[in-house]
């Protein structure tokens, strides 16, 4: 009745009481289809035995390596020879490529953790230097002490890995279409359990009918605080859906006890509502087996009620037009080891949940591959962007020359190209230099409004636990001071013309943590004024969308009956 997929193959026919006959009954009576999962420990183990080059332990195989990809392709081809292949064709409604693909990668590619793989890691090092490392940045060891080049080796590594993983999604997706005609391929479930994993999802969109993520707010709250958890489902979903252009968005919401947090039905409705209002078209709830069924019975009833409601209600229409974009830098995600993304999350909260304007997340990969077109936008927000590449920078300069407004909240904006060289456009855009300073008061003055500034949290490096604040060496001619430091009145945020557009530069990173999500602050007025100037509509009703409580959907728990 809830329109949900059944339990997954290759296990459903043996674990579901009644096997294929029961599955056929469910399909004929309710239209129930079953997902086919291409990954499990046996697949990983056998891929390693078959010659996968990069692995850790018995099952920690690298899904981006050629050996694993070939094993999965061969397994799909061999399925066509099995006697049960017709049963699969009859019942499979979705093929799922891989869950959380980066989980084992740090262990696999670590000389510290994985010394037995030294010869293969030498090959990886040489390949990275030859392809994405500019001849000098090679394999990054995630467990070794950092070096002067660690930021650039991380970027080189993840560019290399993501390029290889995109090949997996392209080739496996094509094989799925051959083996299961008319059946959709969900490439990955992105690990957003508490933060955001390093998959460059813009590379996967063209090869994915569906793509999903798994935001679990009790984990986020435990690790990064309530403020970062508050809108974690919506943030994770919108970022994924926007960046993976062309894919339909699925979300795996939390329906189990995790990090000491037991979701309440009302919380589950809130999390589901956040995902639906930013474009999710499928909810694929996660539970932890029979223990969850017993301990979270009210949660299971709520998941059924939510999905039944989604099945029977008109499809939620999300806005299609906007002139605002938030540029998420995968380079900074990798180089700075920023898996929490406080600045990007804060802008999601300010623009979306608080100002209630629509916007798009975009990325350097999307820009350079033409999946994202800056000509669509009038205002471009930069939460954090220390690293860039010449092609992306050229697009930003052209955006300004066309009359766009670029708003940077990062004092390190455009400091380095990913090859380690300086970015000459930084000086041109700033019109001056920045010098580090201390803060006596954690606020800025914006007219009669006070803007809070938050210390850098959950980010390794020189600014950990500190304010990332600077002074302008001088205010460039023709500039307008938008905000000043509350402690000494010096300029903190300026606006200056560039080309036919303008740049707004903050000399302080205000969003070091996510506490701006806890209450409305002066930043809402700051963002609202930018929306007004760009003609971006605010107070959209979509941001108030909430699923209803549906108490009529009840199933009694009978522990005496085997399912």
pLDDT, tens digit, for every residue of 5-38?
Answer: 999 999 999 989 999 999 999 999 999 999 999 9
Q: Name the CA radius of gyration of the chain, rounded.
A: 25
The contacts found for 443-446 with CB under 8 angstroms, 24 or more apart, are: 443/486, 444/483, 444/484, 444/485, 444/486, 444/492, 444/493, 444/508, 444/510, 445/483, 445/484, 445/485, 445/486, 445/489, 446/482, 446/483, 446/493, 446/522, 446/525, 446/526
Whole-angstrom Cα distance, residue 486 to residue 507? 14
Work out the number of other CB atoms within 10 angstroms of the CB of residue 552: 7
Q: What angle do CA 1, 548, 284 make, to 5 degrees?
A: 50
DSSP 206: G
| Residue 482 shares a structural domain with residue 390 | yes
- Whether 94 is covered by a domain: the verdict is no
| Residue 271 shares a structural domain with residue 336 | no
What kind and span of H or E run contains 406?
Answer: strand 405-408
- Whether 444 is covered by a domain: the verdict is yes
Tokens 């039944």 map to which residue? 308
CB 378 within 8 A of CB 404: yes
Q: What angle do CA 3, 4, 5 make, to 5 degrees?
A: 130
Q: How far is CA 19 from CA 23, 42, 104, 234, 235, in A?
A: 6, 21, 33, 37, 39
Q: In what order do the strands lie in the sheet with 443-446?
A: 360-362, 324-327, 379-382, 405-408, 501-506, 491-498, 480-485, 443-446, 449-452
Angle of helix 150-179 relative to helix 118-131, nearest 10 degrees, comes to 100
DSSP 475: P
Where residue 419 sits, what CATH number does that domain have? 3.40.50.880
| Residue 378 shares a structural domain with residue 302 | no
CB 347 within 8 A of CB 511: yes
pLDDT for res 552: 57
pLDDT for res 352: 99
Work out the number of other CB atoms within 10 angstroms of the CB of residue 380: 25
Nearest Cα to Cα of residue 541 among 319, 283, 235, 306: 319
Calculate the CA dihedral of residues 156, 162, 167, 170 and round it to 10 degrees: -150
- Whether 272 is covered by a domain: the verdict is yes
* Residue 176, both tokens: 């799925």
Whole-angstrom Cα distance, residue 214 to residue 252? 5
Calculate the CA dihedral of residues 473, 478, 481, 487 and round it to 10 degrees: 30
| Residue 273 shares a structural domain with residue 345 | no
| Residue 337 shares a structural domain with residue 475 | yes
pLDDT for res 294: 74
Parent domain of 364: 324-541
| Residue 377 shares a structural domain with residue 271 | no
pLDDT for res 320: 94
| Residue 340 shares a structural domain with residue 472 | yes
- Whether 18 is covered by a domain: the verdict is no
Backbone angles phi, psi at 207, to 5 degrees: -115, 15
- Whether 289 is covered by a domain: the verdict is yes
Within 371-445, residue ranges assigned H as helices are 390-401, 424-430
| Residue 252 shares a structural domain with residue 355 | no
Within 260-381, residue ranges assigned H as helices are 265-276, 290-295, 297-312, 330-335, 342-348, 364-368
Q: How far is CA 97 from CA 170, 185, 206, 245, 333, in A?
A: 11, 7, 15, 18, 24
- Whether 155 is covered by a domain: the verdict is no
| Residue 336 shares a structural domain with residue 279 | no
pLDDT for res 297: 85
CB 193 within 8 A of CB 219: yes
- Whether 103 is covered by a domain: the verdict is no
| Residue 302 shares a structural domain with residue 332 | no
Hey, is 469 helix, strand or coil?
strand
CB 359 within 8 A of CB 243: no
pLDDT for res 563: 52
CB 501 within 8 A of CB 400: yes
Tokens 């549906």 map to which residue? 550
Tokens 């927000």 map to which residue? 381
| Residue 338 shares a structural domain with residue 380 | yes
Whole-angstrom Cα distance, residue 457 to residue 475? 29
Whole-angstrom Cα distance, residue 452 to residue 450? 6
Whole-angstrom Cα distance, residue 466 to residue 385? 19
pLDDT (tens digit per residue) in 219-275: 999 999 999 999 999 999 999 999 999 999 999 999 999 999 999 999 999 999 999
Count of domains forming the chain: 2
| Residue 287 shares a structural domain with residue 396 | no
* Per-residue tens of pLDDT for the chain, all 563 residues: 788 999 999 999 998 999 999 999 999 999 999 999 999 999 999 999 999 999 999 999 999 999 999 999 999 999 999 999 999 999 999 999 999 999 999 999 999 999 999 999 999 999 999 999 999 999 999 999 999 999 999 999 999 999 999 999 999 999 999 999 999 999 999 999 999 999 999 999 999 999 999 999 999 999 999 999 999 999 999 999 999 999 999 999 999 999 999 999 999 999 999 999 999 999 999 988 777 677 788 898 999 999 999 999 999 999 999 999 999 999 999 999 999 999 999 999 999 999 999 999 999 999 999 999 999 999 999 999 999 999 999 999 999 999 999 999 999 999 999 999 999 999 999 999 999 999 999 999 999 999 999 999 999 999 999 999 999 999 999 999 999 999 999 999 999 999 999 999 999 999 999 999 999 999 999 999 999 999 999 999 999 999 999 865 566 767 666 55
- 174: CB partners within 8 A, 6+ apart: none
- Whether 249 is covered by a domain: the verdict is yes
pLDDT for res 492: 99
Nearest Cα to Cα of residue 164 among 124, 111, 209: 124
């Amino acid at each position: 009745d809830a329109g949900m997929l059944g339990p997954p193959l290759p296990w459903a026919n043996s674990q579901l009481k009644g096997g294929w006959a029961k599955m056929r009954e469910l399909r004929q009576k309710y239209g129930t289809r079953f997902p086919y999962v291409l990954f499990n420990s046996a697949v990983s183990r056998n891929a390693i035995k078959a010659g996968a080059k990069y692995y850790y332990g018995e099952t920690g195989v690298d899904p981006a390596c050629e050996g694993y990809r070939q094993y999965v392709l061969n397994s799909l081809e061999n399925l066509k020879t099995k006697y049960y292949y017709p049963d699969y064709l009859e019942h499979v409604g979705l093929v799922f490529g891989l869950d959380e693909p980066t989980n084992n990668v740090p262990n696999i590619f670590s000389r510290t953790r994985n010394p037995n793989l030294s010869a293969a890691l030498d090959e990886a090092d040489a390949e990275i230097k030859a392809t994405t490392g500019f001849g000098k940045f090679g394999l990054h060891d995630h467990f070794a002490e950092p070096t002067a080049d660690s930021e650039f080796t991380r970027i080189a590594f993840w560019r290399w890995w993501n390029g290889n993983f995109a090949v997996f999604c392209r080739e496996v997706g094509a094989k799925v279409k051959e083996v299961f005609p008319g059946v959709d391929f969900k490439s990955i479930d992105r690990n957003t359990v508490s933060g955001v994993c390093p998959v460059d999802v813009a590379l996967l969109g063209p090869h994915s009918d569906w793509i999903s993520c798994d935001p679990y707010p009790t984990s986020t709250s435990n690790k990064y605080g309530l403020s970062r958890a508050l809108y974690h489902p919506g943030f994770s979903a919108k970022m994924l859906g926007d960046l993976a252009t062309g894919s339909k968005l699925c979300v795996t919401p939390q329906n189990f006890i995790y990090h000491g947090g037991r979701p309440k039905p009302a919380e589950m409705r809130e999390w589901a509502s956040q995902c639906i209002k930013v474009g999710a078209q499928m909810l694929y709830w996660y539970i932890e087996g029979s223990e969850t069924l017993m301990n979270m019975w009210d949660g299971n009833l709520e998941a059924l009620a939510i999905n039944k409601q989604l099945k029977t209600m008109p499809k939620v229409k999300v806005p299609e037009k906007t002139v605002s974009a938030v540029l998420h830098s995968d380079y900074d995600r990798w180089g700075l080891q920023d898996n929490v993304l406080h600045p990007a999350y804060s802008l999601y909260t300010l623009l979306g949940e608080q100002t209630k304007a629509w916007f798009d997340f975009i990325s350097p990969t999307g820009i350079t591959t033409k999946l994202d077109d800056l000509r669509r936008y009038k205002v471009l927000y930069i939460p954090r962007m220390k690293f860039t590449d010449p092609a992306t920078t050229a697009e930003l300069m052209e955006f300004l020359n066309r009359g766009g407004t670029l708003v940077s909240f990062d004092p390190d904006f455009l400091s380095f190209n990913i090859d380690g060289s300086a970015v000459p456009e930084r000086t041109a855009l700033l019109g001056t230099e920045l010098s580090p300073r201390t803060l006596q008061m954690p606020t800025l003055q914006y007219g009669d409004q006070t803007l809070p500034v938050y210390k850098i949290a959950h980010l390794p490096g020189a600014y950990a636990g500190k304010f990332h604040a600077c002074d302008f060496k001088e205010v460039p001619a023709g500039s307008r001071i938008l905000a000043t430091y509350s402690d000494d009145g010096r300029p903190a945020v300026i606006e200056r013309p560039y080309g036919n557009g303008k740049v707004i530069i903050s000399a302080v990173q205000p969003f070091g943590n996510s506490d701006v999500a806890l209450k409305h602050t002066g930043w809402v007025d700051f963002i609202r004024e930018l929306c007004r100037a760009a003609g971006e509509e605010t107070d959209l009703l979509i941001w108030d969308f909430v699923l209803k409580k549906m108490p009529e959907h009840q199933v009694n728990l009978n522990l005496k009956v085997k399912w």
